[in-house]
Amino acid sequence: MVKVTDTMLRDAHQSLLATRMRTEDMLPIAPLIDEIGYWSVEMWGGATFDTCLRFLKEDPWERISKLRKVMPNTHLQMLLRGQNIVGYRHYSDDVLIKFIERAHARGIDVFRVFDALNDTRNMEMAMRTVKRLGAALEASISYTISPVHTIEGFVKLGSKLEEMGANTICIKDMAGLISPHDAYDLVKGLKEETSVPIHLHSHMTSGMALTSYLKAIEAGVDIVDTAISALSMGTSQPPTESLVAMLRGTEYDTGLDLKKLAEISEYFNEVRKKYHDFESKTTAIDTDVLIFQIPGGMMSNFATQLKEAKQEHKIHDVLEEVPRVRADLGYVPLVTPTSQIVGTQATLNVITGQRYKSCTNETKNLVRGMYGKTPAPISAEIRKKIIGDEKPITVRPADLLPPEFERLAAEVKQYARGEEDVLSYALFPQVAIDFFKEREMMEKGTNAREIAAIAALFVAQAEKRSKAKKSAQGGEVDMWKMAARRESVNGGGWIL
């Protein structure tokens, strides 16, 4: 029997709708999701924390409690970037530990921990904390293809993660690169060398994922990640219903009810329309990922960066520069934050016309060892070009970070109402402050009434415009903003 994790509440809308789905659109269908019998439902972590604060003006912590309440029978799963938590730098151990404690207290059952460089030292503290709390620890292998990455190497990493206490091991194929035969070999190897369940996570980006899942299942994989069909395909996961139907009546039968799944899908079909403005451009097969191994999301970043520099015509040069920079930087897997580092540096190299003449701080830090050990060593020549005579560190990067929670708590004393607010501030300082200020404004009676009155007018106008507009290309109507305003209006007692 194959078990299923559905990503509809996290990776699926992160991949397809820029992570914009609001909690209010999850809650009505959550009780039905709770009836399905998934191994887990991924609903937090990754970019959800950032977008909640930055764009949705929702408290990310509350999303866990709200879903927990209506989904008492399902394991809630989050994605944690090891020492990066859900942010873009390394955080000190005390911040990391508090974050995991709070997430667990709110209701996260399964923590999927990974590190962009597969440096287990960056996963150690997170893993230990999850274990100590008695939550389910899923440790991940960031899957990538390069001359220094082999099936044997990944299997060895799997054994190490098991030794470190992993309850399950995830093959995290974030770019959807894993081919059916590699999936077979890797799962087979892991099943032979470890004794914990193996979980496969891939994306449909290159069109191979569902086939790779089938080969992985034949090799003995225990759990796979899919997304309800309305939020599947493109850069998202393969469709849950297809997998269920594919395995029906075999020894791998998932036992999931297709009729109930269809009902959930129907619901999200409607919800998705609301987020039309955020639809990813890549909804079919992404040939770039097959040829250049660069996922669609990165591709659109390049386009924007080049456009800003008025060098759009150089996109092909950048595409060729990316693998070179990646090789120079020790063949790092391309996943947040390394994907951004390599992509930006490649763009800089092309725009300036001179390789590493101008380097971002992140590139320098990567060479300094501040993100951990790279899969292959960085040559002395490249190192010198980027950081001169500086000596890279060799210790666990977080060992150099003094405790920072108390200092941060003091800094944000004026706005923070508890540890969770301090953690939000630790991760996204400016964004969190803006959020706290707006939250206060929303809550202040008179102010809220004024806002509500303006908002009511705005919403009515925006909806009129929205109806008149055939395509969303102008983008002036922001559906989630509207929803946020509607919430504030309702809170203020104004009925539209």
Mask: binding to Co ion, 120-139, rule CB under 5 A, as x and -?
Answer: --------------------
Looking at beta carbons only, is 11 or 124 nearer to Co ion?
A: 11
Helix pair 315-328, 338-352: axis angle to 10 deg: 120
Q: What's the min distance (Å) between Cβ of 201 and Co ion?
A: 6
Q: What's the min distance (Å) between Cβ of 171 and Co ion?
A: 11
Q: How far is CA 408 from the centre of its chain?
A: 25
Looking at beta carbons only, is 140 or 347 nearer to Co ion?
A: 140
Piece of the chain touching Co ion by CB under 5 A; list 11-19, 99-107, 113-121, 407-415: 11-19
Q: What is the rounded distance in angstroms from the CA atom of residue 221 to the CA atom of residue 36?
A: 20
Piece of the chain touching Co ion by CB under 5 A; list 3-11, 216-224, 442-450, 473-481: 3-11
11 binds Co ion (CB under 5 A): yes
Contact yes or no for 451/441 (Cβ under 8 A): yes
Looking at beta carbons only, is 12 or 484 nearer to Co ion?
A: 12
Q: What's the min distance (Å) between Cβ of 264 and Co ion?
A: 20
Piece of the chain touching Co ion by CB under 5 A; list 10-18, 64-72, 99-107, 403-411: 10-18
Q: What's the min distance (Å) between Cβ of 200 and Co ion?
A: 11
Q: Which residue is nearest to Co ion (CB)?
A: 11
Q: What's the min distance (Å) between Cβ of 11 and Co ion?
A: 4
Give how many residues touch Co ion by CB under 5 A.
2
Q: What's the min distance (Å) between Cβ of 203 and Co ion?
A: 6
Site residues (CB under 5 A) for Co ion, limited to 169-228: 174
Residue 285 is encoded by which pair of tokens? 């097969």
Looking at beta carbons only, is 87 or 297 nearer to Co ion?
A: 297
Looking at beta carbons only, is 33 or 174 nearer to Co ion?
A: 174
Mask: binding to Co ion, 146-175, rule CB under 5 A, as x and -?
Answer: ----------------------------x-
Looking at beta carbons only, is 238 or 492 nearer to Co ion?
A: 238
Piece of the chain touching Co ion by CB under 5 A; list 9-17, 188-196, 254-262, 418-426: 9-17
Q: What's the min distance (Å) between Cβ of 66 and Co ion?
A: 23
Looking at beta carbons only, is 340 or 360 nearer to Co ion?
A: 340
Q: What's the min distance (Å) between Cβ of 79 and Co ion?
A: 8
Looking at beta carbons only, is 174 or 228 nearer to Co ion?
A: 174
Could you tell me which of 95, 40, 101 has the C-alpha nearest to residue 67? Answer: 40
Looking at beta carbons only, is 268 or 425 nearer to Co ion?
A: 268
Piece of the chain touching Co ion by CB under 5 A; list 8-16, 182-190, 212-220, 291-299: 8-16
Q: What's the min distance (Å) between Cβ of 10 and Co ion?
A: 9
Residue 135 is encoded by which pair of tokens? 């939550």
Looking at beta carbons only, is 174 or 489 nearer to Co ion?
A: 174
Q: What's the min distance (Å) between Cβ of 202 and Co ion?
A: 8
Piece of the chain touching Co ion by CB under 5 A; list 7-15, 243-251, 330-338, 378-386: 7-15
Summarize as ranges the residues that interact with Co ion (CB under 5 A).
11, 174
